[in-house]
Amino acid sequence: MQIASLAEVGLPNVSTSDTIDSTFAALKRAQLARRGSFTLEARIAQLDQLRDSIKRYESNIIAACAADFRKPAPEVKLTELLPVLQEIRHTKKHLRKWMRPKRVAASIGVWGTRSYVRPEPKGVCLIIAPWNYPLNLALGPLVSALAAGNGAIIKPSEMTPHTSKVIANIVAETFPPDLVSVIEGDAAVAQKLLALPFDHIFFTGSPAVGKLVMEAAARNLSSVTLELGGKSPTIVGPDANIKKAARYIVWGKFANNGQTCIAPDHVFVHRSIAAPFNEALKQQIGRIYGKTPEARQSTPDYCRIVNARHFQRVSSLIEDAKSKGANVFEGGITDAEENFIAPTLIANMSSDMDISREELFGPILPVIEFDDIDSVINKINDNPKPLALYVFDQNKSFARNIIERTSSGAAGINLTVVHFLHPDLPFGGVNNSGIGASHGEYGFRAFSHEKALMEDKHSLIHLLFPPYTRWVRRLIDAAVRILG
């Protein structure tokens, strides 16, 4: 199916309580009826159907992302389509192995038994997707949910309504509604969904909302995967390749207009190379987005802030920093009519500025000079654990020292953001930046219950059963002495 124009995409429908309840009940019944029939072949067929639908809707996805926040078509392909299609391909290749029960050797205490760990579907799962990568972060987790044999409800973000509608069309065309359904709507709809006893909830969003999701999940004792965010620091050491560091940082920061949970939030640069590094950042911005303000606003390669509310939030961060003595040495230009904020570099940051405390989630990059790496490490450790941390330096021990002395969901050396594309790496945070992990086998396991299965063959454990005669007590004492 091809959609001729954005007018045909339509806007999301707000789901009622009755619709939500009936949809959930239908998935629950179907999941119970299908239990025991989640074959490898059936799961692969579902993944094939999803892949084919995504490819068929490619032009519609590109048009929808452009309508929602002027996302460039190449960026849609690289950051929305490629990760999901790669996830499908990787999962199909390895799913047989992941599904296979894993034999566990018997310990001495249970000698004579045979044991396995058997992955089973958790049941009916809820996927709450964000607006910054609206297709990727809705359908990527769905791949893992289907691979693990689950049914799912997807709640796309209402802030990207055109993409939300395309997701709904893809799902409706690809799956029966008692296997996968899309529920569209605002925060009130999300609250109604969170009140239901889902078997697993996969949420991507801010730490503040993640706490609310976890609180709601606790009422039903639903397990959760929380993909959150935080202020991901970047350190540029004295022996860094300055040009390479600037290239990766500018791309990782300003792609998607900075609206990326693993984008560099701020940069610590060694004072000895600060001047050439700052100049390299400016040169890279000019090379990618244009050398003049007019060129940067007119380039088709630069995304926009998603809506007026977030535009105001990010603009206020810049104004607050300027009012408190910050030096905006590149960018800072805004246009409210287009939700446009130019790539912005800020120096002279202080602790009383909002940019020091808030996750920026926009095209603002504070650059902070340092002399002593211990002070940088202390600053990182004084703040909540970030989703990612990046180090640029050609001295391996310099990078290793930072990574070993800090805690983060992931770490990158001489690159940014790229780790998200590796299907064999877990993607997830720690504490404030997330709980659990996704991608590849880690995503499959997030949506699976790992059931312990033990079978008696010729165990002698019954010799320790009551009544506790003198002989049984001696056996128990011997067991404690030998095995304890």
Q: What is the mean pLDDT of residues 19-47?
A: 93
Q: Tell me the average pLDDT of the chain.
A: 95
Catalytic residue status for 227: yes
The pLDDT score that the predictor gives to residue 18 is: 85
Catalytic residue status for 358: no
Q: Among 80, 261, 359, 441, which one carries the catalytic annotation?
A: 261
User: What whole-number distance in Å separates Cα of residue 399 and Cα of residue 386?
Assistant: 17
The pLDDT score that the predictor gives to residue 2 is: 33
pLDDT band, very low/low/confident/very high, at 354 (cuts 50, 70, 90): very high
Question: Encoding tokens for residue 263?
Answer: 């984008």
pLDDT for 89-108, tens place per residue? 999 999 999 999 999 999 88
**Which of 56-65, 428-437, 456-465 bottoms out in mean pLDDT, i.e. has the lowest?**
456-465
**With 70 as the cut, is the pLDDT of residue 11 above it?**
no
pLDDT band, very low/low/confident/very high, at 5 (cuts 50, 70, 90): very low
pLDDT band, very low/low/confident/very high, at 13 (cuts 50, 70, 90): low
For helices 40-56 and 136-147, what crossing angle results, to 10°?
160
The pLDDT score that the predictor gives to residue 484 is: 86
pLDDT for 303-339, tens place per residue? 999 999 999 999 999 999 999 999 999 999 999 999 9
For helices 187-194 and 207-220, what crossing angle results, to 10°?
30
Domains, in order of start, for the chain = 6-228+437-450 (3.40.605.10), 233-428 (3.40.309.10)
pLDDT band, very low/low/confident/very high, at 4 (cuts 50, 70, 90): very low
The pLDDT score that the predictor gives to residue 38 is: 82
Q: What is the mean pLDDT of residues 43-47?
A: 97
pLDDT for 243-252, tens place per residue? 999 999 999 9
Q: What is the mean pLDDT of residues 130-158?
A: 98
The pLDDT score that the predictor gives to residue 37 is: 77
The pLDDT score that the predictor gives to residue 35 is: 83
pLDDT band, very low/low/confident/very high, at 14 (cuts 50, 70, 90): low
**With 50 as the cut, is the pLDDT of residue 469 above it?**
yes
Which of 48-72 are b and which e, b meaning 16 or more Cβ less than 10 Å from the residue's Cβ?
A: eebbebbeebbebbbbbbbbbbbbb
pLDDT for 149-168, tens place per residue? 999 999 999 999 999 999 99
The pLDDT score that the predictor gives to residue 15 is: 63
Q: Among 80, 184, 227, 359, which one carries the catalytic annotation?
A: 227
What percent of the chain is predicted at pLDDT more than 90? 94
pLDDT band, very low/low/confident/very high, at 12 (cuts 50, 70, 90): very low
Q: What is the mean pLDDT of residues 58-76?
A: 98
Give the DSSP letter string of 235-273: EE-TT--HHHHHHHHHHHHHGGGG--TTS--EEEEEGGG
- End-to-end CA distance of the chain: give it in Å, rounded: 65
pLDDT band, very low/low/confident/very high, at 3 (cuts 50, 70, 90): very low
**With 60 as the cut, is the pLDDT of residue 273 above it?**
yes
Question: Encoding tokens for residue 451?
Answer: 């059931």
pLDDT band, very low/low/confident/very high, at 17 (cuts 50, 70, 90): confident
What percent of the chain is predicted at pLDDT more than 70? 97
**Which of 222-226, 447-451, 479-483 bottoms out in mean pLDDT, i.e. has the lowest?**
479-483
10 Å CB burial of residue 475 (0-12, 13-18, 19+) is middle
Q: What is the dihedral of CA 447, 203, 423, 411, to 10 degrees?
A: -130
